[in-house]
C-alpha cells in the first residue's frame, strides 16, 4: 500500500499530460452523490468504476443504466450500462459500457473559421470486464480490464487499462469497511489515421509536384490514480433499520492534484437513502483558474422499490448533483434492477 502511494502521488506539474480523462468521469448516481469517495463501500455495477473488489458486495445480481448531464448546459452527456452477476457463493462477474456524447460539432477550417456547414461527432467509448472474489465475507478482491477507444471520422486511438482493488469488512455487524483501489494503469495511447496526413509541395524544388506526408502524434498515458477509503455503519433504532454511515476517502492522482474528502449517508431500511459530501483538491490556489471545475459539494438520494419477500431485490432509482463553477453542475440519474 505504501509503495503504491509513493508511486502514484499527485504531481500538479504533470497536469494535462494524461489523456482518456473520461475514465475519471462517473456516470453512476449513487457513488456520484458522494463524489466517488466510496472505495470502501461501493457494490454491484458501480464498483466497476470505483473499486472492482465490490462487484460481488451486494445480495444477488444487478443490471443498471446510468445517464449524466455533464457540466450542464454544456450539452455533453454520459451514458452507461452495467451488469453484475453472482457466480456461486463467493464470486461475481461484471461487464460495463460507457460512452460520452458530445453532440454534433461544426467542422471549421482556416478559410472558414465559422464553420463549413458540415458537422462531426467524436466517439468516446470504453468497455470493462471485471471479476471479484470474496473470502469469508471479510475480504474481497477484484480485477478489471477495460478497453478505451477515442475516435473521429479519420483519427482514432485505442488503449487497454487495468483496475485492481481490495475491500475489508469487520466489526460486530460488519460495520467497519476499508477499501483500496488502483485504477487506469495500462498501455499508452496514440492517435493514428488518415487525418494526420497532409499534402505539401516537393521540398527539393526540382519539380513542381505535391507529396503526401504522414504526421505522428505524441503518445499519452492513462490517468492513473489510487483510492483509499474508509467508512463505518452506525445502526440505530427499530431493528437497526436506521443507518448513518460517515465516509472518508483519499485519492492520489498521477497527473493532477490529490483529493481528500468526507461525506455521510443516511438510510432507512435500505429503501430510502440520502447522502452528501465534500471533496477538497489539495494544493489548489484561491484563484478560480487554479481550481478544478467542481466546487467540492455533492449530494444525492436513492430509492429501492421492493417487489418480493427479499428486501434487497427490486427497482433502484438514484439521483446525484455535483456543484461546479462555472456551469450549472453535473446531474446524474441511474435506474437499476436488483435480482
- The answer to whether residue 202 sits within a structural domain is no
Most distant pair of Cα atoms in the chain: their distance? 91
- The answer to whether residue 112 sits within a structural domain is yes
Sign, Cα dihedral of 215, 254, 50, 31: negative
- The answer to whether residue 205 sits within a structural domain is no
pLDDT in tens, 99-112: 999 989 999 988 99
Residue 7: predicted pLDDT: 45
Residue 228 domain boundaries: 2-189+219-338
How far apart CA 177 and CA 40 sit, in angstroms, is 5
- The answer to whether residue 211 sits within a structural domain is no
Residue 214: predicted pLDDT: 85
The number of folded domains in the chain is 1
Cβ proximity of 172 and 232 under 8 Å: no
Cβ proximity of 222 and 189 under 8 Å: yes
pLDDT bin (cut points 50, 70, 90) of residue 1 is: very low
- In this structure, the dihedral spanned by the alpha carbons of residues 23, 11, 33 and 19, taken in order and rounded to 10 degrees, is -20
pLDDT bin (cut points 50, 70, 90) of residue 146 is: very high
Residue 306: predicted pLDDT: 85
Q: Residues with Cβ < 8 Å from 12, sequence gap 6 or more?
A: 256, 257, 283
| Position 158 pLDDT exceeds 60 | yes
How far apart CA 167 and CA 42 sit, in angstroms, is 9
Alpha helices in 105-237 (DSSP H): none
pLDDT in tens, 86-141: 998 899 999 999 999 998 999 998 899 999 999 999 999 999 999 999 998 799 99
Cβ proximity of 53 and 43 under 8 Å: no
CATH number at residue 45: 2.40.160.60
- The answer to whether residue 207 sits within a structural domain is no
How far apart CA 256 and CA 190 sit, in angstroms, is 20
| Position 68 pLDDT exceeds 50 | yes
Residue 284: predicted pLDDT: 79
How far apart CA 116 and CA 83 sit, in angstroms, is 42
**Does residue 47 have a cis bond before it (omega within 30 degrees)?**
no
Cβ proximity of 67 and 180 under 8 Å: no
Integer angstrom CA distances of residue 12 from 83, 181, 228, 246, 284: 36, 21, 20, 29, 9
**To which H or E segment does residue 73 belong?**
none
H helix and E strand count, the chain? 3, 19
How far apart CA 107 and CA 105 sit, in angstroms, is 7
Residues of the chain with pLDDT > 70: what percent? 94
- The answer to whether residue 201 sits within a structural domain is no
Residues of the chain with pLDDT > 90: what percent? 71
- The answer to whether residue 203 sits within a structural domain is no
Amino acid at each position: 500500500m505504501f509503495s503504491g502511494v509513493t508511486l502514484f502521488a499527485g504531481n500538479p506539474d504533470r497536469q494535462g499530460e494524461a489523456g482518456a480523462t473520461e475514465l475519471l468521469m462517473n456516470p453512476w448516481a449513487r457513488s456520484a452523490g458522494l463524489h466517488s469517495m466510496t472505495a470502501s463501500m461501493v457494490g454491484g455495477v458501480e464498483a466497476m468504476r470505483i473499486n472492482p473488489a465490490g462487484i460481488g458486495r451486494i445480495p444477488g445480481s444487478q443490471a443498471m443504466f446510468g445517464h449524466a448531464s455533464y457540466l450542464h448546459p454544456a450539452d455533453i452527456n454520459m451514458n452507461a450500462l452495467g451488469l453484475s452477476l453472482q457466480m456461486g457463493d463467493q464470486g461475481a462477474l461484471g461487464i460495463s459500457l460507457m460512452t460520452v456524447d458530445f453532440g454534433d460539432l461544426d467542422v471549421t477550417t482556416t478559410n472558414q473559421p465559422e464553420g463549413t456547414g458540415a458537422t462531426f461527432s467524436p466517439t468516446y467509448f470504453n468497455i470493462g470486464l471485471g471479476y471479484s472474489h470474496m473470502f469469508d465475507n471479510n475480504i474481497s478482491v477484484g480485477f478489471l480490464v477495460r478497453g478505451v477507444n477515442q475516435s473521429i471520422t479519420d483519427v482514432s486511438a485505442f488503449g487497454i487499462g487495468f483496475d485492481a482493488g481490495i475491500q475489508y469488512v469487520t466489526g460486530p455487524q460488519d460495520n467497519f469497511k476499508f477499501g483500496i483501489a488502483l485504477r487506469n494503469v495500462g498501455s499508452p495511447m496514440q492517435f493514428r489515421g488518415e487525418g494526420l496526413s497532409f499534402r505539401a509541395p516537393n521540398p527539393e524544388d526540382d519539380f513542381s509536384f505535391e507529396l503526401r506526408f504522414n504526421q505522428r502524434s505524441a503518445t499519452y498515458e492513462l490517468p492513473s490514480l489510487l483510492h483509499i477509503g474508509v467508512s463505518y455503519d452506525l445502526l440505530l433504532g427499530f431493528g437497526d433499520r436506521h443507518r448513518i454511515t460517515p465516509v472518508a476517502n483519499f485519492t492520489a492522482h498521477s497527473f493532477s492534484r490529490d483529493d481528500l474528502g468526507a461525506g455521510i449517508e443516511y438510510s432507512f431500511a435500505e429503501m430510502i437513502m440520502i447522502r452528501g459530501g465534500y471533496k477538497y483538491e489539495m494544493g489548489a490556489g484561491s484563484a478560480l483558474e487554479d481550481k478544478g471545475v467542481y466546487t467540492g459539494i455533492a449530494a444525492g438520494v436513492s430509492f429501492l422499490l421492493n417487489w418480493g419477500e427479499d428486501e434487497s431485490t427490486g427497482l433502484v432509482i438514484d439521483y446525484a448533483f455535483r456543484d461546479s463553477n462555472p456551469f450549472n453542475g453535473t446531474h446524474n440519474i441511474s435506474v437499476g434492477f436488483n435480482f
